[in-house]
């Protein structure tokens, strides 16, 4: 599944900063909720600032994921 697609260096750099922020909070970007990557894609495409991804949000995703499996 393609969850995020950006073109152009300014947008790519913005995504790198978001990934760095996720890693800084102790979360592996590969484990982030797929919905969050779609959110980032939609916000960047709409020229809006995406919401951050917090450990609280991540725990909620992991609990939801556990219910789905």
In the prediction, which pLDDT does 1 show? Answer: 78
Q: What is the pLDDT of residue 2?
A: 84
Is the separation of the CB atoms in 16 and 51 below 8 Å? Answer: no
pLDDT band for 69, please (50, 70, 90 cuts): confident
pLDDT tens digits, residue range 1-59?
A: 788 999 999 999 999 999 999 999 999 999 999 999 999 999 999 999 999 999 999 99
């Amino acid at each position: 599944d393609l969850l995020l697609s950006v073109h152009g260096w300014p947008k790519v750099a913005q995504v790198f900063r978001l990934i760095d922020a996720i890693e800084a909070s102790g979360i592996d970007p590969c484990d982030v909720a797929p919905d969050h990557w779609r959110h980032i894609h939609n916000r960047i495409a709409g020229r809006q600032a995406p919401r951050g991804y917090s450990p609280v949000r991540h725990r909620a995703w992991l609990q939801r994921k556990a219910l789905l499996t």
